[in-house]
Structure 1
Amino acid sequence: MSEACVELDAIGGNVELIARHTDAEIMAVVKANGFAHGSVQTARAAVAHGATWLGVTSCAEALALRRAGLTVPVLCWLTAPGQDFGEVIAAGVDLAVSSVPHLRAVAAEADRLGTRAMVHLKADTGLSRNGATPEDWPELVAAARRRERAGTLRVRGVWSHLAHADQPAHPGVGDQVRRFERLVGQARSAGLDPDLVHLANSAAALAHPETHYGLVRAGIAIYGVEPVLGRTFGLRPAMTLRARVVLAKRVAADTGVSYGHRYTTTDQATLALVPLGYADGVPRSASTLGAVWLNGERRPIAGSIAMDQFVVDAGHAHVEIGDEVVVFGPGDLGEPTVLDWARWSGTIPHEILTGIGDRVPRSYLRTAATTVGGRDRG
């Protein structure tokens, strides 16, 4: 009755577009199940089209990629000192580290395994989220250098994250670049020699070349959402969310629809019932504001979006059970996009995409598979 169809060629094309804007390597960020597109499928498509790194949040996400046969470098960046790092270290996953206790935990596990852990030291340059502050940074880099000498880890990267990259002229970007370069300089002065220095997210990869260094981390852009306010680069949305009408009926004018009767028909109308709701990721906050594509036109959401279903006012159009409803797509025909849904619900496209739940089956569309080393990477 419903599906989220992912266009893998769009993901590949978006990676290639980003590559035309930078000389740096590209990390495809496939956390949160590839922004709900499917982490393994997205990763394979991205790597086949030029991504050389993969980025995830959790150890479980990293190990899922390894178990799927993806052997490119993977960075995992949100862990805690008390975790068991043995399996990810053994799988060759790089770990981000933001504190001395965290560093000690990773080094101790590597020592137990008789190997070296690959780490990326994260600096807080102004986002005030994860990362070591400038005050704590000297202690962290000194501790990392001691453990490099001991042979329990290697600092492969130094990195940070931008707060204002989506705003092309924001002075905060330059401020963070200057702080970042000072902290990288301190790390090198302490004897560290990272292979990679990375700062740019999707927006910076496209709009701030001064942030590119050796690697850019592309998240929302590879899924086709334009990340820079007021600018369009030609990215193609990869996901189309669709369903089939499960009931259609004619009602009279002045008919209240759905919970609380927040919507009332103004004339005789055909109401179409769509089997998707906020449990599937269709935001309730877009009730009476959102629209879908049905039989060649945008049709309004009638009343409150419920947990499992919502109603569409199709006016005088003829609608039958089984007719296709496109909730959002690339916009080629005039159907709503994920940007439209984000605006209607007062949020960002990231939240709309990652909210599409497991009850919605995924399907994957491609024009040609790319096979590398005997594995289908399309």
Structure 2
Amino acid sequence: MTLALVTEVVAASRPRLSVDLDAVARNTRLLAGRASGELMAVVKADGFGHGALDVARTALAHGATRLGVTSLDEAWPLREAGLGVPLLSWLNPADADWGRAAAHDVDVAVPSLTHLAAVAAAPGRARVHLHVDAGMARDGADPASWTLLCRSARRAEQRGQLTVVGVMGHLGCADDPTDDCNALARTRFAWALEVARAAGLRPRDRHLAATAATLTDPRTHHTLSRVGAGLVGIDPSRTTALHPAMTLTAPVVQVRRVRAGTPVGYGHSHRTHEATHLGLLPVGYADGLPRAASGRAEVLVRGVRRPVVGRISMDQVVVDLGERGVDLGESATVFGPGTHGEPTVAEWAAWADTIEHEVVTGIGARVERSLA
């Protein structure tokens, strides 16, 4: 085959990411059925890489009643798209545009006295969820400052500067329901609610559980569960069969016949064991494939799993296609729901010693997106 023909095939084909919104719908219905209270669809990080607006609309149509994001920058497009349901943003710097949040009815989390002062001083009357650190030493107010934060919030509420509508926390070990740290977090959260009530606050929304706890521990549900990963088929607790919503394919853009002992890729980390065909896929770590999966990953070609050989490069991977090879332009399934024998996101995560969340949120902008 001539170089010109290979170049033509490359130009006509790109890696493609397909999102199955029916899977999102099924997952949402299951999770809404498990939650004791309302279900918040968390669509941060562009809906865990699946498209924030599409995931939000689908989840709201199938049991979710509100939305959650991290930054306010993630909130504005949802409001601009006409989604008027309750919407919470919980990770912002103290100098964020709190006035705009109030004007667009975006609830905001307050994790510190500094944040509280800034929110209270902004135009409008913000709807606030006080955020307590339930044991992660990460976001949220330290328990030592919680009483003062609640009392200060109550004073701001009485002055008409804001309304405390919620108290929130986060579980650090919910992926293992048996871990003792979950009991500690539940106790700390219950204490935080008592302190808030003692300060005169009456938060309607009380939320601690994310996906794993929603599926495994009703004691954490309170009035609301925040679910993001579960919407797209990821269960960190490994207790429930959810439906993966993402499929990544890539075309074979080059095929070559090589001898046994042929070195492959950077550093010659692989040498062919026998004469074989090598196929080139135009997708690499710049597109979200974890480089740490080199030497372990597989893809599906013509219904058969084929190993990725050599190191995963920035823009490309090499696949051992075996004796028969394939035609240029044929599609390889990098990962999908696993229903046709293809590798899953969970497998790619295991090959790279990471979590599924990192894989799905890492798919780059060069990959063409579509809905299944």
Which TM-score band applies after superposition, normalised by the shorter structure? over 0.9
Measure the CA separation in 2 of the matches of 1:81 and 1:249: 56
The offset of 1:106, in angstroms, is 0.8
Which amino acid in structure 2 is aligned with residue 196 of structure 1? D
Q: Which residue of the partner structure matches residue 10 of structure 2? A: none
2:305 paired residue among 298, 313, 336: 298
Q: C-alpha offsets along residues 74-105 of structure 1, whole Å, 9 cap, x if unaligned?
A: 11011111222222221110000011110111
Query: Is residue 61 from structure 1 mapped to residue 74 from structure 2 by the alignment?
Result: yes
Distance 2:290 2:190 in 1: 41
Q: CA deviation at 1:311?
A: 0.5
| Contact preservation (8 Å) 2:255, 2:328 | yes
Deviation at 1:317, TM superposition (A): 2.9
- Aligned: 1:221 with 2:234: no
Q: TM-score, normalised by structure 2?
A: 0.95
d(CA) in 2 for partners of 1:26 and 1:317?
50
For 2:271, give the aligned amino acid: T
Distance 2:140 2:337 in 1: 36
Give the match for residue 374 of structure 1: none
Aligned residue type for 1:222: L
Matched, 1:158 2:135: no
Matched-pair contact (CA < 8 Å) for 2:24–2:232: yes
* Structure 2 Cα separation of the partners of residues 22 and 89 of structure 1: 28
Name 2:264's counterpart in structure 1: 257
**Residues 95-106 of structure 1 correspond to what in structure 2 (within 5 A)?**
95-106=108-119
Structure 2, unpaired ranges of 5+: 1-13
Deviations 1:294-350 (A, max 9, x none): 111110001011111110001113301111111110000111001101111111111
Q: Does 1:181 align with 2:194?
A: no
Task: Name 1:289's counterpart in structure 2.
Answer: 296
**SS of residue matched to 1:136:** helix
In structure 2, the partner of 1:12 is 25
RMSD: 0.9
Q: Work out which of the residue numbers 111, 115, 120 in structure 2 matches 1:107.
A: 120
1:273 corresponds to 2:286: no
Distance 2:117 2:52 in 1: 30
Q: d(CA) in 2 for partners of 1:215 and 1:202? A: 12
Residue type at the aligned position of 2:182: V
Deviation at 1:234, TM superposition (A): 2.0
Figure out how many residues of one structure are paired with residues of the other and give that number.
Answer: 359
Counterpart CA distance in 2 for 1:145 and 1:317 is 72
TM-score by length of 1: 0.93
The 5-angstrom pairing of residues 39-58 of structure 1 reads 39-58=52-71
- Letter of the 2:170 partner, please give it: H
Give the gaps of 5 or more residues in structure 1.
Answer: 366-378
2:242 counterpart of 1:235 = yes
Q: Distance in 2 between matches of 1:341 and 1:82?
A: 39
Question: How far has the Cα of 1:134 moved from its partner?
Answer: 1.3
| 1:135 matches 2:148 | no
Q: Deviations over 1:169-217 (max 9, x none)?
A: 1111111111110110110111000111000010000001110000001
Deviates more, 1:100-109 or 1:81-90: 81-90
> In the aligned structure 2, how far is the partner of 1:88 from the partner of 1:243?
41
